[in-house]
């Protein structure tokens, strides 16, 4: 039992140190766009998850609903997202990506992919292959945490 606890503590420490390291090495230098990374994150979730209640996105992104409302309002003002009310319960507010939002998302993802590919060019083929394998394994393990 004690070994199990030590492994979990070491794992927690590794995750805490790895996330900022990864952000600094890859994500911090992403090209700027009209919207913040957090707004793009919300747009991406709405695109990926489809029409869902705002509470769903608030929980998914681990941000208060009041903050999500401000973020959604910005995306709505830009025409990237639309807000709808549930036909049965008008207290439930849903978010859905617009065609303009899909176009914007595709364009920005293309820019980000190009930027990331440029950053990854320094890797040897074996390193890139191993990194892909490790990230796929991490995704599978992290999916068990939800």
Q: 113-123, pLDDT tens digit by residue?
A: 888 888 889 99
Tell me the CA distances in angstroms from 137 to 8, 9, 17, 131, one per residue in order. Answer: 18, 20, 19, 10
| Domain range list for the chain | 1-30, 34-143
CA distance 71 to 77: 10
pLDDT tens sequence across 41-91: 999 999 999 999 999 999 989 999 999 999 999 999 999 999 998 888 888
Within 10 A of 42 (CB to CB), how many other CB atoms are there? 24
d(CA 82, CA 73): 9
| Overall residue count recorded for the chain in this entry | 146
According to the CATH classification, is domain 34-143 in 2.40.110.10? no
**Tens of pLDDT, residues 27-54:** 666 666 678 888 989 999 999 999 999 9
**pLDDT score at 29:** 67
The DSSP string of 32-87 is P-SS-HHHHHHHHHHHHH-SEEHHHHHHHHT--HHHHHHHHHHHHHTTSEEEEE-S
The pTM is what? 0.73
3-state secondary structure of 31: coil
**Residues 52 and 95: beta-carbon distance below 8 Å:** yes
């Amino acid at each position: 039992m004690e070994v199990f606890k030590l492994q979990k503590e070491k794992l927690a420490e590794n995750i805490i140190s790895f996330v900022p390291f990864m952000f600094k090495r890859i994500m911090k230098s992403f090209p700027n766009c009209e919207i913040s990374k957090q707004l793009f994150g919300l747009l991406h979730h709405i695109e990926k998850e489809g029409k869902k209640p705002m509470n769903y996105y608030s929980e998914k992104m681990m941000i208060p609903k009041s903050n999500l409302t401000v973020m959604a309002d910005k995306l709505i003002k830009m025409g990237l997202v639309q807000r709808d009310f549930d036909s049965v319960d008008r207290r439930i507010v849903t978010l859905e990506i617009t065609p303009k939002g899909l176009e914007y998302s595709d364009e920005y993802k293309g820019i980000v992919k190009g930027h990331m590919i440029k950053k990854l060019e320094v890797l040897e083929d074996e390193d890139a292959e191993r990194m892909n394998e490790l990230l796929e394994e991490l995704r599978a393990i992290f999916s068990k945490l939800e």
